[in-house]
Amino acid sequence: MNPQLPPVAPSVTAELVAALTPRLRKRLDAGVAKVAGRPTVREGDVVRIAVDDDTGLELHTSDGVVTSAEAIRCGCLLAPDCLHRAAAASAAPVADPTEPASTTPPPPDSTALPATAVPSPHPIRTGTGTRTRSGTAIPDRDGTQSPGSPQPSPTAPAAAPTPISAPALPADTATPEQRAAAVALHEAAAEVLEAGADGAGAVLQAELLRSAHTARLAGLPRAASRAVAVVTALRAARGADPAYRLADLVAALRDVLLLAHRLPAATGPELAELRGTVRQPYTPDGSLRLYGLFAEPVLTATGYAGAITWTADGAGRLYTVADVAPGGASRATGAAERAVRLGDTSLTHRELSRAGLAVSGATVSPTGRLGAGAGVRAVRASGVAWHAEPLDRLWAVPPAEQVSRALTGERDLLFLDVTLIGTAPEAAGECLVADCGGLMLRLAAAHDDPALPHRENLRLLASARGARLRVVARLTPAPLPRALLLAVSHPTDPGVRVDLGLDRLRRADLPVAPKSRAVPGAPAVDEAPVHLLRRRVHQAAAGGRRVLAFPGSRDADGARLRRHGLGTGGELLAELQAAAADRPRDPFGRLLPADTGRFARAWLGAAVYTEELDRALCAAAWGAELVGLAGCTGPANGEERADPPAPSRSAR
């Protein structure tokens, strides 16, 4: 994927790939690699690519997005039936299917952030609603345009106001078009899973994009958004994008298969939730007195960047003010100095994170995002330190209660008092280990992009062993207490706060540790072997069914899971491996095509099980109560539905 190219609508890519001849389809992946490596020149709404000395491509955009096949023009002799147009569309970022990108300011109180503009895959809870963030472009799971997924997004100019009418209630059952769209999505996602990221080239991606476009037209924005997230992750994987994370691909693929599986039989409120919504409503909230908490940058693999500033009112409710638009690392690092677009205030995001705001005529979305309508007035007010009221009450809530609230869908921000005690190795690098009320808590960097100071700040904090800090972190469901570090109090001045994604610590900011004091390292953790199942789930997403079909012992991992009380996990692993390896034969002994449906069901059961088990083990590790555990799909034959067993003693 070439981030220098403008986003292309999913339907455009699907149309251009479908028009190729079988011979050209075989050459499409090579064409994508060639186009992605060519230099681009942008002149207004036109982006030009020099394919070679004699051939040039032009991508014409409308509000920053290529919205029709005719907008991609090629100068070669075979045009318009050439390979170059489809290759350019397949090499470009995917435009979000529910909201076109734009460089114009958002209309008041009606816009929503593109679902692709999200910095991390974990749900962010604000106020009474939820939103999702993704480290590599994972959109809101409910299909809403929030962000991180939450931030004002550029959109087309607002339409003229229309009379207010009673909202239409969703039908009790899915329409025939929605059922057909769900089946098409399931089939396309199953084919992607069959091939894995290594084998899911531009043709399979285009089929999934076609299914996403059909789902959007059928009124399924949530499924369409997640399908686009799968394609975005696939392109990042195949393009060796350093921002690519296998966990993001697994999460998006699991969501698509789960939505497609549940939609046809869903009714009432469950169906409305599975459908999702394109825009979030804004409701009046009167006058607000807000206090800045912290600000965090947004930088996604899909070409969106900016910042979100978190604030709280006197009762502890959280509100966000955001500025996210197409851009790269420079926009993410510079967004903190941009003025907040709310009322008449001239505060920057960095200033607001430490000051206050008095808002009248406020409008708020279900996720806690403040609207910027014409009737909203906002002026600067004084802020308070984290140790002063009313912000201090956020840290007064016991950690177990905060975790329980995060796991059950309210918000995933944690406000903790910790003492740094050491570091621990992880797959993505070292993380901090801190004592949080007797719990050994792991604090990892919230973003790995080198343009952002997260990792560098974490490395400096690792040398401040013994320092007592007040921190804001985002919960990561895991078998042991773990969170992503967003902001901390200054190591030598508790009245000063440091936004770890925007501010840079210096060695002089750190306290001098007593040389005679020995600080213990991270203790060994006795975990339930959930990784045995998760590893197979990730291997299948990366390499496809064939990587699980190799001969060998299939019993050792399942037996180990059962010994730790994870009998359902052992059965799911056995079914996943059997679905991968079993191939029927015709009467002449020839191998028939694999049952992609069975493998997809087995993989989905294992993926959902590990996610829910992580939540259960996370609650156990923090000593929190977990209400409303969703359960997960049982064995892929569909004979029964199995819930995760209680965490084993070793998991605690």
The three-state (H, E, C) secondary structure of 436-484, written as one string: ECCEEEEEEECCCCCCCCHHHHHHHHCCCCCCEEEEEEEECCCCCCEEE
pLDDT value at 170 more than 70 = no
Query: Above 60 in pLDDT, residue 355?
Result: yes
pLDDT (tens digit per residue) in 175-215: 999 999 999 999 999 999 999 999 999 999 999 999 999 99
Average pLDDT over residues 311-316: 92
pLDDT higher than 70, residue 127: no
Q: What is the pLDDT of residue 556?
A: 85
Q: Average pLDDT of 346-363? A: 91
pLDDT over 50 (residue 31): yes
pLDDT for 171 beyond 70: no
Tokens of 277: 């919504």
- 138 has pLDDT over 80: no
Query: What domains sit in the chain, N to C, each tagged with a CATH number?
Result: 29-89 (no CATH), 392-509 (2.40.50), 531-651 (no CATH)
Burial annotation 502-519 (CB, 10 A radius, 16+ → b, else e): bbebeeebbeeeeeeeee
Percent of the chain with pLDDT over 70: 81
pLDDT for residue 99:
44
CB 397 within 8 Å of CB 404: no
If pLDDT is split at 50, 70 and 90, which confidence band does 327 have?
A: confident
Model pLDDT, residue 249? 94
Residue 112 or residue 586, greater confidence: 586
Buried b (16+ CB within 10 A) or exposed e, 36-55: bebebeeeeeebebebeeeb
pLDDT for residue 570 is more than 70: yes
- pLDDT score for 564: 86
pLDDT tens sequence across 526-564: 567 888 899 999 999 999 999 998 766 667 888 899 988
Q: What is the mean pLDDT of residues 623-647?
A: 43
Determine contact, residues 500/536, Cβ cutoff 8 Å. Answer: no
pLDDT in tens, 405-433: 898 877 889 999 999 998 888 877 789 99
Task: Assign 641 a pLDDT band (cuts: 50, 70, 90).
Answer: very low
Give 231-288 pLDDT, tens digit per residue: 999 998 998 887 788 999 999 999 999 999 999 999 988 999 999 887 778 888 889 9
Q: What is the mean pLDDT of the segment spanning 466-475?
A: 94
Contact assessment for residue 230 and residue 302, using Cβ atoms and an 8 Å cutoff? no
N residues, the chain: 652
pLDDT average, residue stretch 498-521: 71
Angle formed at CA 470 by CA 464 and CA 475, multiple of 5 degrees: 100
Check pLDDT > 70 for residue 375: yes
pLDDT value of position 158: 36
Q: How confident is the model at residue 402 (pLDDT cuts 50, 70, 90)?
A: very high
The answer to whether the bond into 114 is cis (omega within 30° of 0) is no
Pairing of β 482-489 and β 439-445: parallel
Rounded mean pLDDT of the chain?
Answer: 80
pTM over 0.85: no
Q: How confident is the model at residue 624 (pLDDT cuts 50, 70, 90)?
A: confident
Q: Among 143-157, 317-331, 342-356, 582-596, which is the least confidently predicted range?
A: 143-157
